[in-house]
């Protein structure tokens, strides 16, 4: 699959795909003419990379984690790092849910000024 096809199927820019390759996150083979070619599995890989970035993981951590995804194995030090990242993500989820609840209260109060939002404090 060529780079444009991967970009189209994933919604990720060609530039981002080149960056992933530079960061050793997404392997590509080259044609004799220098064009990048990706396996069909590249689409799922790019989606996973995007999810990890969205969760706040830096490229270096993503680069370390991807081989574990492929093999199902992780060295103890990396496993500790992944558990720490998971805790950080859990805290972020808790914080986001709290903000969402506050927004729900503000929306309710705005739509109905007589609503009981005494728990907003």
CB 38, CB 6: distance < 8 Å: yes
Three-class SS state of 2:
strand
Nearest to 63 by CA among 43, 45, 44, 84: 45
pLDDT at position 121 is 55
pTM, entire model = 0.79
Give tens-digit pLDDT for 3-31: 999 999 999 999 999 999 999 999 999 99
pLDDT band at 1 (very low <50, low <70, confident <90, very high): very high
Domain ranges of the chain: 1-71, 74-121
Q: Over 90: is that where the pLDDT of 99 sits?
A: yes
Give tens-digit pLDDT for 27-71: 999 999 989 999 999 999 999 999 999 999 988 899 999 999 989
CATH of domain 1-71: 1.10.1660.10
């Amino acid at each position: 699959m060529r780079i444009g096809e991967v970009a189209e199927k994933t919604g990720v820019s060609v530039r981002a795909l080149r960056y992933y390759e530079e960061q050793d996150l997404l392997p590509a083979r080259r044609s004799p003419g220098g064009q990048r070619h990706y396996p069909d599995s590249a689409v799922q890989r790019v989606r996973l990379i995007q999810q990890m970035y969205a969760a706040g993981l830096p490229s270096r951590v993503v680069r370390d984690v991807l081989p574990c995804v492929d093999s199902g194995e992780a060295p103890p030090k990396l496993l500790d790092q992944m558990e720490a990242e998971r805790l950080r993500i859990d805290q972020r989820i808790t914080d986001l849910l709290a903000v969402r609840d506050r927004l729900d209260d503000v929306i309710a109060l705005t739509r109905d000024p007589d609503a009981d939002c005494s728990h907003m404090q």
